[in-house]
Amino acid sequence: MQDAEDVRRICLSLPDTTEKIAWNMPTFRVAGKMFATLPEEETSIAVRCPKEERDELVLAEPGKFWIADHEAGFAWVRVRLASLEDSDELRDILADSWRQAAPTRLLESNPELGLPADG
């Protein structure tokens, strides 16, 4: 099972990522822009996700993904760490969120991380 230390390790392995406590929880930022948080006693993560994709994820896998009430108007989705298959799935989710927040210069200098679908 994936846990907060796995989240932290993967996030901090992504280029130009820092950890900062905000709202009494760990948050992860690329070039100062937040792309992941560890809310709910660190049993889930919140990540960036376009609203259309987010809604599809929640409908397809409600045991894994959900939308927090206070984030409903924003392009974020919650992911239950216990429901993830493995560290590869966690890394894919975090890297996708990182790509959505990363500036173009980082995306261009790290082609192995790919580009966001709409980027």
Mind listing the pLDDT tens digit for each residue in 16-46?
Answer: 999 999 999 999 999 999 999 999 899 999 9
With helix as H, strand as E and coil as C, how does the chain read?
A: CCCHHHHHHHHHHCCCEEEEEECCEEEEEECCEEEEECCHHHCEEEEECCHHHHHHHHHHCCCCEECCHHHCCCCEEEEEHHHCCCHHHHHHHHHHHHHHHCCHHHHHHCHHHCCCCCC
pLDDT reported for residue 113: 84
Q: Is 117's pLDDT higher than 70?
A: no
Mind listing the pLDDT tens digit for each residue in 40-89?
Answer: 899 999 999 999 999 999 999 999 999 999 999 999 999 999 999 999 99
pTM, 2 dp: 0.92
